Structure 1
Amino acid sequence: MPTSFLAALSEEQRERSWREALESGRISVALAYSGEELAGWVAYGKCRDTDKDASWGEIEAIYLHPSRYGLGIGTSLMQYARKSLSTMGYSGVSLWVLTANVRARKFYELAGFSTDENTKEFELGGTVLGEIRYQRTLTG
């Protein structure tokens, strides 16, 4: 993410946005701890893409503290989100990832996701970023 975008983030605005999303039930969030420290989290819910029907869920975000990479925590978060989405009645799951984020793309591919080649671009903090969509079934 561009440094200018991160520097301009409002803690109050982000808190309000997250509170509204959680209280409305639009998304669910699972947290992973390592001892007493938050190691990562995943947000998931109904797919927001207009070309997907009601059988699709979405992993909106997954973040892991860099010091926790390679410990299986991200895999556990991903498995938890997929199981929860399946329990909610979804049969497929999609996610968007920054095209340039090679590490994340490899992680998703190892988790059984593949790209459907849909892409989009958006501007953030004066920088144009590209995303590519990945998807997989929730069975198997």
Structure 2
Amino acid sequence: MFHIRKAKLDDAESIAEVHVESWKSTYSEFINERDLSNITFEHRRTLWETILKMPNIGQIALVVEQEDGKIVGFISGGQERTKRFGFDGEIYAVYLYKQYQRMGLGTMMLEAFAKEMKNLGHSSILVWVLTQNPSNRFYIDFGAEKIDQEQTTIGKGTYQETAYGWKEIDNLLERFRKPLANNE
């Protein structure tokens, strides 16, 4: 059994572990090893301690945990950062240990995140995903539309990322009331 809750400062280390392990398992096939190794546990722990110590008003960080309290994934976001596409909310990061993928936990996190964003007054959500990431399909399956593509720098490498978005959070939330076509 799993449940979702708001992240707290004590979760920083566990979130950092999920972040680094998931990053490396997800991107090992299409990000250069030198760029992949730039993401370290120490840096991510410091990042998450900073985020969770001084929460930004309107920023959301949720974790999914097992009954025993082990955190196996997280999602975070808040205000859309670029102000270029007409969206007011954004998913900044969503990661799940590989062994917990395809169990419906990503769906649970996305739904909880969308509800939190709506409660904060957001009406739309954008997410940037590395274009080669096979998880792009997850967002498309929930009705996200492709918005734009651009280059991003990771370490010393340049990679393409794609923005997907839901112009109406209500349309996304409605998707959770209907079964997905691929039964995921």
Between stretches 59-68 and 122-131, larger displacement belongs to 122-131
Structure 2 residue aligned with 1:97: 129
How many residue pairs align between the two structures? Answer: 137
Instruction: Specify which of 89, 114, 124 is matched with residue 145 of structure 2.
Output: 114
Q: Which amino acid aligns with 1:90?
A: H
Does residue 49 in structure 1 map to residue 67 in structure 2?
A: no
CA–CA separation in structure 2 for the residues paired with 1:32 and 1:69? 12
Does residue 127 in structure 1 map to residue 157 in structure 2?
A: yes
Does residue 28 in structure 1 map to residue 82 in structure 2?
A: no
Q: Which amino acid aligns with 2:127?
A: L
CA–CA separation in structure 1 for the residues paired with 2:75 and 2:51? 14
Relative to 1, partners in 2 of residues 1:21 and 1:52: Cα closer, same or farther, differing over 3 Å? farther
Give unpaired runs (5+ residues) of structure 1: none
CA–CA separation in structure 2 for the residues paired with 1:61 and 1:105? 13
Relative to 1, partners in 2 of residues 1:79 and 1:11: Cα closer, same or farther, differing over 3 Å? same
Between stretches 82-91 and 38-47, larger displacement belongs to 38-47
Percent identical across equivalent pairs? Answer: 23
CA–CA separation in structure 2 for the residues paired with 1:81 and 1:39? 16
Does structure 1 retain, via aligned residues, the 8 Å contact 2:152–2:158? yes
TM-score, normalised relative to structure 1: 0.86
Tell me by how many angstroms 1:10 deviates: 4.5
Q: What's the RMSD between the two structures over aligned residues?
A: 1.9
Q: Which amino acid aligns with 1:109?
A: I
Instruction: Specify which of 9, 12, 15 is matched with residue 45 of structure 2.
Output: 15
Tell me by how many angstroms 1:114 deviates: 1.2
Tell me by how many angstroms 1:129 deviates: 0.8
Does structure 1 retain, via aligned residues, the 8 Å contact 2:60–2:116? no
Tell me by how many angstroms 1:15 deviates: 2.9
Structure 2 residue aligned with 1:139: 170
Does structure 2 retain, via aligned residues, the 8 Å contact 1:75–1:111? no
Higher strand fraction (1 or 2): 1
TM-score, normalised relative to structure 2: 0.67
Structure 2 residue aligned with 1:84: 116
